[in-house]
Amino acid sequence: MDSLLQSFNALASGWVILAAFGGVLWGILGGALPGISPSIAMALLLPFTVGMEPTVAIVLLASVYVGAEYGGSIPAILIRTPGTNSAAATVVDGYEMARQGKAGEALGISLISGLVGGLFGLLVLVLATEHLAKVALAFTPAAYFSLGVLGLSVIAGLSGGSLLKGLMATCIGLMFAFVGTDPVSGVSRFTFGSPDLLDGIKPILVMVGLFAVTEMLVQIGEPAWEKAGRVAARLKLPNWAMMKRLARPQAIGAAVGTFEGVTPGAGGTVAAFMAYSESRRWSKHPEEYGKGSPEGVAAPESANNVVTATALVPLLSLGIPGSNSAAILLGGFLIHGLQPGPMLFQKAPDVVYGLYGGLLMANIAMLLIGLVILNPCIWLVNRPKPYLIAVILALVMSGVYAIHQSVLELVLVLGVGVLGYILRLLKVPILPLVLGLVLGYLIESNYRRSLVISGGDHSIFLTDPVSLGLLVLALALTLYTGWKEFAGKGAKA
């Protein structure tokens, strides 16, 4: 109840409401552009949040995520090109509805299902996060180390089929994290004599390089995306009878989205496809799926919007980002000197509750903006790609420079962009790298702190019951995913 009141308090600030509306608008426009994922849309804004008040900055970034999930469904329905990965499942029935002249109806279903999913996800976030964080408050340094290891074990699920490549990416991320002054002895490491690197490499620079610069380097070599043409689409909200019909697929989407969201590594794309598949399985008319079924739009859209909130549960309570977008949001916290995790509720409860209130406002904003944004989105998708790339890069380069007015950081971001390009070429997953980067400090400092406490005895990680439990869980998670990967390959062979 107290948290609810504090969340509403945050809304008293006009800036939070403005951030929610602005973020959703930016997210819808970004999500509507094929190639601009929610994480890229968030990464583009990240440098601009530096001077903002923490709550406003976090709400802005989280609202981009909310908006991008709806934005991605617009080109998916209109031109059969998902704007975001998680909108790929919406293409199947959404585009079929558009071909039957029901594009407006499909867009309306997507919007309302997204709203239902977003609000449900927010409820789960509010109810689950604080309790989980309270449990984590009792953690010793050994338990924190093991929590970091558990976070890294998530790489097994994020490695896109190659555990070894995921492990290598994690090591590279950890290497980035070790640049700068040693947390225990104060010795400088990997700075190559540059005073600018003594404070380490800021995660924001790596994230902007990996997500935004890499994407532009890839996009410039790819053909232009399809144009929307003159689509006679006017958004049409579902009537009461349709809402009753959509209740079941929306509920399935909410359940699947909750499970996939709180599981680090799964994310909105898996949730959307699983929700589509489950909704079809439990439908009274499965034969209509793939032929323009409204349920086929409602289930994935409600699922991927649930994830926008539930993916924040492991981030806020344990400090573990389970998806690209959650990692960018973590970057937003770090910029403002805030470390997500159990202590966040003690040190900055106003930011957490402000985020809850902001997310509520963002979902309302999605509904209101969604009603009028269709034509601007079609106009934007139809802009020639060369001009869009130029403007996006102008924003990226300006934003990065604005952080510390450093040309070295600009060059660093470009270097990270090239690294991301090479990794993508070699099919090395990027998210484990981000995970290594953001968990590197937590793991190293707590590992060494634990050994100082135990006098160098490594058994402290096994005698501390919480630490032992987390390590066993990490081992089980890695073995399970490794076994799944192995069994999957065996089945293919």
Partner 1 sequence: MSGARTDLTTGLLGLTLSGAYLWVARGIEDSLLADEVGAAGVPTGVGLLLGLAATLLLLKGLVRWRAESRAQRSPAGEEGGSDAPAHRAAAGLLLILLAYALLLSVLGYVLSLSLMVLAVAWYAGGRERLTLLGLAVVTGPLLWLMFDFLLQVRMPRGLWSIWLGA
For residues 430, 27, 205 and 407, what is the CA-based torsion angle, rounded to 10 degrees?
Answer: 140
**Could you tell me which of 53, 93, 69 has the C-alpha nearest to residue 304?**
69
**Is residue 395 within the footprint of partner 1 (CB under 8 A)?**
yes
Least separation in angstroms between CB 414 and partner 1: 6
Separation of alpha carbons 306 and 268, rounded Å: 8
- The amino acid that residue 446 corresponds to is N
Q: Return the residue of 193, 195, 384, 490 that touches partner 1, per CB under 8 A.
A: 384
Q: 137 or 411: whose CB is closer to partner 1? A: 411
Q: Across the strands, what pairs with 314?
A: none
**Is residue 14 within the footprint of partner 1 (CB under 8 A)?**
no
Question: Residues 213 to 272: which contact partner 1 by CB under 8 A?
Answer: 213, 216-218, 220-222, 224
Least separation in angstroms between CB 386 and partner 1: 3
Least separation in angstroms between CB 196 and partner 1: 14
Q: Return the residue of 127, 135, 371, 402 that touches partner 1, per CB under 8 A.
A: 402
Are 267 and 307 in contact, with CB atoms under 8 Å apart? yes
Question: Residues 262 to 301: which contact partner 1 by CB under 8 A?
Answer: none
> How many residues sit in the footprint of partner 1 (CB under 8 A)?
60
Q: Return the residue of 123, 397, 468, 473 that touches partner 1, per CB under 8 A.
A: 397
Separation of alpha carbons 416 and 113, rounded Å: 37
Strands 180-181 and 188-189: antiparallel
Site string for partner 1, 145-164 (x = CB under 8 A): -------------------x
Q: How many CB atoms lie within 10 A of CB 143?
A: 22
Q: Return the residue of 4, 135, 198, 418 that touches partner 1, per CB under 8 A.
A: 418
Q: Return the residue of 186, 193, 195, 337 that touches partner 1, per CB under 8 A.
A: 186
**Is residue 387 within the footprint of partner 1 (CB under 8 A)?**
yes
String of DSSP letters for 18-79: HHHHHHHHHHHHHHHSTT--HHHHHHHHGGGGTTS-HHHHHHHHHHHHHHHHHHTHHHHHHH
Least separation in angstroms between CB 67 and partner 1: 20
SS3 189: strand
**Is residue 491 within the footprint of partner 1 (CB under 8 A)?**
no
**Is residue 451 within the footprint of partner 1 (CB under 8 A)?**
yes
- The amino acid that residue 9 corresponds to is N
Say which residues have a Cβ less than 8 Å from residue 372's Cβ, sequence separation at least 6. Answer: none
**Is residue 5 within the footprint of partner 1 (CB under 8 A)?**
no
Separation of alpha carbons 67 and 31, rounded Å: 7
Q: 207 or 303: whose CB is closer to partner 1? A: 207
**Is residue 458 within the footprint of partner 1 (CB under 8 A)?**
no
Least separation in angstroms between CB 251 and partner 1: 41
Q: Tokens at residue 376, please?
A: 């601007």
Give the interface segment with partner 1, choosing from 280-288, 295-303, 322-330, 413-421 (CB under 8 A). 413-421
Provide the angle, in degrees to the nearest 10, between the axes of the packed helices 294-310 and 267-281: 140
Q: Return the residue of 30, 200, 253, 417 that touches partner 1, per CB under 8 A.
A: 417
Say which residues have a Cβ less than 8 Å from residue 354's Cβ, sequence separation at least 6. Answer: 6, 7, 10, 13, 16, 55, 58, 59
**Is residue 444 within the footprint of partner 1 (CB under 8 A)?**
yes
Q: How many CB atoms lie within 10 A of CB 313?
A: 26
**Is residue 196 within the footprint of partner 1 (CB under 8 A)?**
no
Q: How many CB atoms lie within 10 A of CB 161?
A: 12
Give the interface segment with partner 1, choosing from 79-87, 175-183, 325-333, 336-344 (CB under 8 A). 175-183
- Site residues for partner 1 per CB under 8 A: 48, 51, 164-165, 167-168, 171-172, 174-175, 178, 182, 184-187, 189-190, 213, 216-218, 220-222, 224, 384-387, 389-391, 393-395, 397-398, 401-402, 405, 407, 410-411, 414, 417-418, 421-422, 425-428, 443-444, 447-448, 451-452, 456
